[in-house]
Amino acid sequence: MRDMTEGRPIGHLWRFALPLLLGNWLQLAYNAVDSIIAGRFIGREALSAEGIAAPVMNLVILGISGMCIGAGVLMGEAFGAKDMARVRKALGTTLRFGVIACAVITGLGVLFTPRILRLLEVPENILGITGVYLRITFLGAPFTFLYNSLAAGLKAVGDSKTPLRFLAFSAILNAALDLFFLGVLHFGIVCSAVTTVAAEAASAAMALIYMRRRTAELLPSREDFRRDAALFRRIMVYGGPTALQQMIQPIGKVLIQRQVNALGVDVIAAYNAVTKVDDFACIPEQGIAASLSAYLAQNRGAGKKNRLLPGFRAALALEVGYFVLICAAAYLFRERFVQLFLREGDAPQIVAIGADYLGVMAFIYILPAVTNWFQGFFRGMGRMPITIVMTSVQIVLRTVFTYLLAPGMGIRGIAFSCAIGWSCMICCEYLYFRKIRREEWGGKEHK
């Protein structure tokens, strides 16, 4: 556990964010390994199939994680107020809701997979394997929710290192199983989906075992699972907007994927590869924002408003530092990143398409760093609804401009559409930040 109500903000944020960054990288490596192994051992059709399925599953996964992030803010406030009973009750209520929600999501996902793929205009030659892969991965939703709920409880009390260990294990397990079954035994895409679900189940099981043995004070009792309408409403106030915000982004990406599908299998394969690099840029930036949210929630719960603005500024330094790292890597190694996902000599035009995209995007990654910085502030201050509005502005513009620019500019048009959406989002966020600053601090800075 980490109490962030005392000491230098930058120290707390860095020590809290580093495990989250490592965890993000492991989670992303976990996802990228599937695509790399599928592309290298099965072919570009499998790479394309996984790329099409990814935004659909991300819609589910990010909705789940968004609910858990929002609930985590509520648990962080309770921990800051030294009310462990309220922490357990919030976690128990979140888990109760998740069991029902995931059962519905999994059933509907499996049932409507063919219709989803038809709406996405998936090319006929990869329609079958994409459907099989998507249906199997839908079965992993309950395990994803269980892990994210328990991890949110641990992070709310300042423990971001333990969830990292579980992610590390599941990422290694996923890679090992993929290499053995696809690389050695040459099984197909079905096995790739099954190993992904197995690794998700392993991380959830480890989190539950750890909490039972090491942090029993966080584990909800039977009483904590009882229906509490007032608490559930509060969790929905915190978690609902965050979940919707997280889901708005992949909804737009699903629509963008539909436009990508119209550009052919080569572009689909290239786009799957480069969006993995996009994820390495943007998702860890969200981890830094999550550390800011936890910091602000604890200090608000403790009534220490004078520590809020310094923490906000310190988080910006972390966001900019991460941008510099990812910008250099994406630009200098853009061709090699795309080649990782392809068999030797397999469609060199795919490498050229992907490298063209990354050459532009490398310098655009500063924009999501700033948007995530503001988003972390809004969540930590309990201003959840505004995060939905801001994300909606960004993804709507990004989707609209993709449909306008991609037909003429190809994949590079998608990169420029990202820049337009994020730039407008920053402008809106800044205006709302100034409003909150006047309300909370009367326009004065706290030293």
Residue 192 and residue 50 in contact, taking contact as beta carbons nearer than 8 Å: yes
Whether 282 maps to a domain, the answer reads: yes
Sign of the torsion angle spanned by Cα atoms 386, 388, 393, 398: positive
Whether 348 maps to a domain, the answer reads: yes
Q: How confident is the model at residue 447 (pLDDT cuts 50, 70, 90)?
A: very low
Collect all residues with Cβ–Cβ distance below 8 Å to 363 and sequence separation of at least 6: 327, 331
Whether 3 maps to a domain, the answer reads: no
Contacts 24+ apart (CB under 8 A), 240-244: 240/67, 240/70, 240/384, 241/70, 241/384, 241/385, 241/387, 241/388, 242/66, 242/67, 242/69, 242/70, 242/379, 242/384, 242/387, 243/63, 243/64, 243/66, 243/67, 243/70, 244/63, 244/66, 244/388
Task: Kindly state the average pLDDT of the residues 272-285.
Answer: 83
Whether 173 maps to a domain, the answer reads: yes
Query: Which domain covers residue 127, as residue numbers?
Result: 9-441
Task: Kindly state the average pLDDT of the residues 230-247.
Answer: 75
Whether 4 maps to a domain, the answer reads: no
Distance CA 49, CA 134 (A): 9
The alpha carbons of the chain give a radius of gyration, in whole angstroms, of 21
> Can you list the alpha helix ranges (DSSP code H) found in 333-409?
334-339, 348-361, 366-380, 384-409
What local confidence, expressed as pLDDT, does residue 364 receive? 94
Look at residues 250, 238, 255 and name the one whose alpha carbon lies nearest to residue 282: 250
In this predicted model, what pLDDT tens digit does every residue of 371-417 receive, in sequence order? Answer: 988 888 888 877 767 877 888 888 899 999 999 999 989 889 999 99
In this predicted model, what pLDDT tens digit does every residue of 366-380 receive, in sequence order? Answer: 999 999 888 888 888
Whether 146 maps to a domain, the answer reads: yes
Whether 168 maps to a domain, the answer reads: yes
Whether 447 maps to a domain, the answer reads: no
User: How many separate domains does the chain show?
Assistant: 1
Distance CA 212, CA 242 (A): 28
pTM exceeds 0.85, yes or no: no
